Structures are given as C-alpha cells and as structure tokens.
C-alpha cells in the first residue's frame, strides 16, 4: 500500500511553544487512519498540518516536510486553494451550515467555477448519496442546514467536503458531539468512502479507532509514539 501523504520530521510551534515534535508518519491511500491520544497531545494540530490549516493560526510555524503524492505541501509555489481542494476537512462543529442543503454542497464547486445548474444538481445528488443522506433529504434540498439534526448536519459537512472531489478527507472529532446512532451512521459512511478516498480521523474514542481504522497513530505530548496497523496495535499480547 503506498502512502498518499507522508510527513517527515514535522515540528510545529505556536509562538514559543512547541506542539509537535519530529512527527514522521505515512498516510496510506484508500485507508482510514485514526489519530488518537489524550486531549492536548497534538492530534488536531497534526491534522491541520496536512492541509495547512495552521496557516490561519497566528504565530503557528511548521518545520519539516509534508508531501501529498510526492509533492511538498509547504512549497511556496503551492496554491492553498488547490491544496484544500485535494485535501478536504470536516470539523467537530460543522462550519457555515446556515445555507440550504443544496447551497452547502454547491458551495465548493461554485468556488471552483462550476456554474452549470445540471452539473451542480448532479454533484449535490451524488454527494448526498455518498453521505447516506439521499433518502433522508429526498426532495427537501432547500431545507436550511440548521434545521437538520446534529448527525445529519455532520453528514452534510461530509457531503460538502466531498463536493470538490478531494483525494484526502480529514475529520477532526466528527462524532464527539453525537449520539451513538448518529455516530454509527457516520462510521458507516466513512467505511463506504475509503475505497475512493484517503481518510484521516482524529478521535478521542479508542473504540471508534478500533471499529473503523486500518492504521492508528497514537500521540502523546506532541509526539507520535506509536503507528501501526490498527489490528496489530490493539492486538492483545
């Protein structure tokens, strides 16, 4: 299995404070990688280094290498718009969902220049299906995002991220605010997506990592202290 992404000796500083130390990790293609570890150990910070979300944090500085299909993500010639199209992200609290279901999903494609109504309709329908919402939403495409349940909003966030056809999908604790049934639906969506996408998920839930991931990275105090196939990492000695 080849890595879609690879980090080498990544250090991250928030001002004077170092939050990541020498993190070297592959992100294998068409697999789910879970990042686990106690609160504050650097999981979210590491996730954000993969698509340069840290660029938005004042004082954050990265050293080392992050490659996507062999290309250096931190190269000054890299377009952030192009990078974020390839490496999409879903947050714990879904962002900017005030619009309708349709407009949420069409948002990214419109930014990338898709204007054709039929093309947008197709994208919206496909992404709803990928996020297991096709039937739930049905014809109610113009329902406002906020009127959906928490679990539906989070699946809408996934549909929205998929709409620009990323290669890699990053998720930061996407189920930590959800009930068990909504959590299970999201897990099933992620499992169904991994044939097509490369997925990295931050979770504080070890059971979730065991249930859905192929690889697990365990962080402690800003260091990646273990990385292995999930089945091996959690195997009883």
From 32-40, 117-125, 146-154, 178-186, span contacting ligand ADP (CB under 6 A): 32-40
Does residue 108 bind ligand ADP (CB under 6 A)?
A: no
**Three-class secondary structure of residue 100 per DSSP:** strand
**CB nearer to ligand ADP: pick between 57 and 111:** 57
Does residue 39 bind ligand ADP (CB under 6 A)?
A: yes
Does residue 220 bind ligand ADP (CB under 6 A)?
A: no
Shortest CB 40 distance to ligand ADP, Å:
4
Distance of CA 211 to the CA centre of its chain: 17
Distance of CA 49 to the CA centre of its chain: 12
**CB nearer to ligand ADP: pick between 19 and 106:** 19
**CB nearer to ligand ADP: pick between 40 and 70:** 40
Does residue 44 bind ligand ADP (CB under 6 A)?
A: yes
Size of the site for ligand ADP (CB under 6 A): 13
Binder of ligand ADP out of 8, 9, 55, 57 (CB under 6 A): 57
From 25-33, 38-46, 99-107, 131-139, span contacting ligand ADP (CB under 6 A): 38-46
Compute the distance between CA of residue 160 and CA of residue 105 in angstroms, rounded to an integer: 4
Distances (CA, A) of 73 to 15, 48, 79, 111, 169: 21, 12, 9, 21, 15
Q: Are 106 and 67 in contact (CB under 8 A)?
A: no
Does residue 173 bind ligand ADP (CB under 6 A)?
A: yes
Q: Where are the beta strands (DSSP E) in 50-176?
A: 60-68, 71-72, 87-90, 168-172
From 36-44, 155-163, 192-200, 209-217, span contacting ligand ADP (CB under 6 A): 36-44
**Three-class secondary structure of residue 235 per DSSP:** coil
Does residue 33 bind ligand ADP (CB under 6 A)?
A: no
Tell me the three-class secondary structure of 151-181, residue by residue. Answer: HHHHHHHHHHHHCCCCCEEEEECCCCCCCHH
**CB nearer to ligand ADP: pick between 130 and 213:** 213
Shortest CB 109 distance to ligand ADP, Å:
26
Compute the distance between CA of residue 109 and CA of residue 120 in angstroms, rounded to an integer: 8
Compute the distance between CA of residue 226 and CA of residue 44 in angstroms, rounded to an integer: 17
Shortest CB 140 distance to ligand ADP, Å:
31
Q: Are 66 and 25 in contact (CB under 8 A)?
A: no
Does residue 19 bind ligand ADP (CB under 6 A)?
A: yes
Write out the residues near ligand ADP by the rule CB under 6 A: 14, 19, 37, 39-45, 57, 92, 173
């Amino acid at each position: 299995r080849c890595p879609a992404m690879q980090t080498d000796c990544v250090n991250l500083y928030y001002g004077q404070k170092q939050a990541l130390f020498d993190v070297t990790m592959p992100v294998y293609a068409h697999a789910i990688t879970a990042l686990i570890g106690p609160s504050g150990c650097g999981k979210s910070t590491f996730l954000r280094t993969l698509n340069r979300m840290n660029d938005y944090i004042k004082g954050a500085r990265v050293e080392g290498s992050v490659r996507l299909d062999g290309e250096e993500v931190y190269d000054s010639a890299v377009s952030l718009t192009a990078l974020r199209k390839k490496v999409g992200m879903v947050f714990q609290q879904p962002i900017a969902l005030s619009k309708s279901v349709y407009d949420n999903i069409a948002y990214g494609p419109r930014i990338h220049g898709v204007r054709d109504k039929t093309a947008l309709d197709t994208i919206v329908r496909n992404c709803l299906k990928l996020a297991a919402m096709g039937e739930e939403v049905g014809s109610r495409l113009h329902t406002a995002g906020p009127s959906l349940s928490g679990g539906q909003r989070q699946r809408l966030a996934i549909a929205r991220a998929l709409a620009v056809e990323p290669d890699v999908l990053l998720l930061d604790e996407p189920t930590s605010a959800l009930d068990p049934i909504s959590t299970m639906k999201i897990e099933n969506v992620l499992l169904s997506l991994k044939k097509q996408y490369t997925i990295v998920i931050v979770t504080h839930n070890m059971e979730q990592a065991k249930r859905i991931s192929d690889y697990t990275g365990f962080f402690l105090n800003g260091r990646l202290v273990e990385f292995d196939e999930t089945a091996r990492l959690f195997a009883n000695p």
